Every structure is written in C-alpha cells, then in structure tokens.
Amino acid sequence: MKIRSAEFLTTATAPAGWPSPDVPEFAFAGRSNVGKSSMINALVSRKSLVRVSNTPGRTRTLNFFDVTAEEESGARHRIRFCDLPGYGFAKVSQAEREQWKRMIEEYLAGRQTLRGVVSIVDAEVGPTPLDEELLAWVRAIPLDVVVVATKVDRLGKARRKPRLAEVAKKMDLPPASVLGFSAVERIGIDAVWSRLISLAGVSETGVPVGATGEPR
C-alpha cells in the first residue's frame, strides 16, 4: 500500500466537532498505552503524524486523520482514521473516565460513516475485561471489528502464531482472525490495510473491493 497523503484533520470532544461524514472511517480503540497512535503512524508510514508518548493517557480527545492510500493496482482510497482515547487508565479520575466513556460511546454508536473498529490488544497481555466489554458493545451496535494484537516484537518468533490463536480463542474468534502487529518491526501493516480496504467497500475509482454490505 502506498500512502499518497496523510494529514491531521481535527480534534473533537462532541458530535458538533466531528468532521463532515463524507469519507469511510475507522476508529482505533484499545486500552491506554496499548499502541493505538503508534499503529496509525505505522499504517501511514509517518513517524509522528500522531503523538506517541511514554505517558499513558496522552490522547484525551477524538483525533481525526485523513489518508489517501493507493493499492498496487492503482486503486485509490480516501480513508479517515479516528484515534480514540485509551480506556482503563488508572490515574484518571472516575469522573473523567465516565466522560471519556460517554464521548467514545456516543461516537461509536452515532457516527454514520464508521465502517469498522480496529480493536487493539497487547499480544503479550492478551484481552483484558475492558477489551472484551468494548468488543461486545461494538458488535451489538452492530459494527465490524478487526482485532489486532500489537507489540508482537516482544514475543519470540516461535511464540507469535500460537499466541495469536490463544488471543482469538479468549475472544471467541476464529483462530486466524486476530492479526499480529508491531509498529517497531513493521509487522502486519499489509494485513490490517487489506481488512480496512475490504470493509471500506468501494475504492475512490469506483471499483468494488469486497464490500461487506450497504453503507451505514
């Protein structure tokens, strides 16, 4: 996948701030510090489009990015990413956590152009109860979910495949459905892109690319 452009669009905390719903969109969700922002940077081959930090809880708003991606066939896709604040960060007050939860749920349930949620878990840690809760909630909307287990670089090479199958089993998913990823070693980028493109439905040039249903 060639990235023709990638740019920060806007930040929002409420529906009035969401960008106009005119591009297929994907949300990146996961617990605080799991590697959401790093995943977006890796997918768009930019080192610091999205701010990454060692301080968990850095992302506190919905952050939107516009990307133009081009397949080898020449098919171009305009895609929008929404980087969500991480959940489960202990040092945030209960009141602030509730506020984030409302902001995220309002967005996931109400965003017309949302084509799927990239649910990110730590490959080593596996799904936490909060990850399972989010997954169940998102599926009930219903929205398509792509589960990605990141930081696989921290696992020995022989552990990676069996670990992904374990993560899938814990989440009641088919063994091969959880994609392994590493922003550090740039693993899984093509696999994630190909899921996103097929969920996005139709390329900008009008070529159907495995659409999964009517646009929402």
Ligand X SMILES: Nc1nc2c(ncn2[C@@H]2O[C@H](COP(=O)(O)OP(=O)(O)OP(=O)(O)O)[C@@H](O)[C@H]2O)c(=O)[nH]1
Binding site for Mg ion (CB under 5 A): 36-37, 59
Reading the block at residue 214, the tokens are 């009517």
Considering only 18, 25, 27, 37, the residue that binds ligand X (CB under 6 A) is 37
Residues in CB range of 140: below 8 A, 6 or more apart: none
Binding mask 72-101 for ligand X (x = CB under 6 A): --------------x---------------
d(CA 212, CA 210): 6
Half-sphere exposure of 154 (CA within 13 A, CB side): 11
Considering only 151, 160, 163, 195, the residue that binds ligand X (CB under 6 A) is 151
CB 181 within 8 A of CB 152: yes
The answer to whether 159 contacts ligand X (rule: CB under 6 A) is no
The answer to whether 58 contacts ligand X (rule: CB under 6 A) is yes
Q: Answer with the entry of ligand X, Mg ion, none that 35 interacts with (C-beta below 5 to 8 A by kind).
A: ligand X
The answer to whether 124 contacts ligand X (rule: CB under 6 A) is no
CB 134 within 8 A of CB 119: yes
Residue among 82, 53, 77, 78 nearest 65 (CA): 82
Looking at beta carbons only, is 56 or 201 nearer to ligand X? Answer: 56
Considering only 43, 59, 82, 119, the residue that binds ligand X (CB under 6 A) is 59
d(CA 211, CA 191): 17
The answer to whether 119 contacts ligand X (rule: CB under 6 A) is no
| Window contacting ligand X (CB under 6 A); options: 46-54, 108-116, 157-165, 201-209 | 46-54
The answer to whether 203 contacts ligand X (rule: CB under 6 A) is no
Question: Strand runs (DSSP E) across 52-196, as ranges?
Answer: 62-70, 76-83, 114-122, 145-150, 179-180
Footprint of ligand X (CB under 6 A): 30, 32-38, 52-54, 56-59, 86, 150-151, 153-154, 182-184
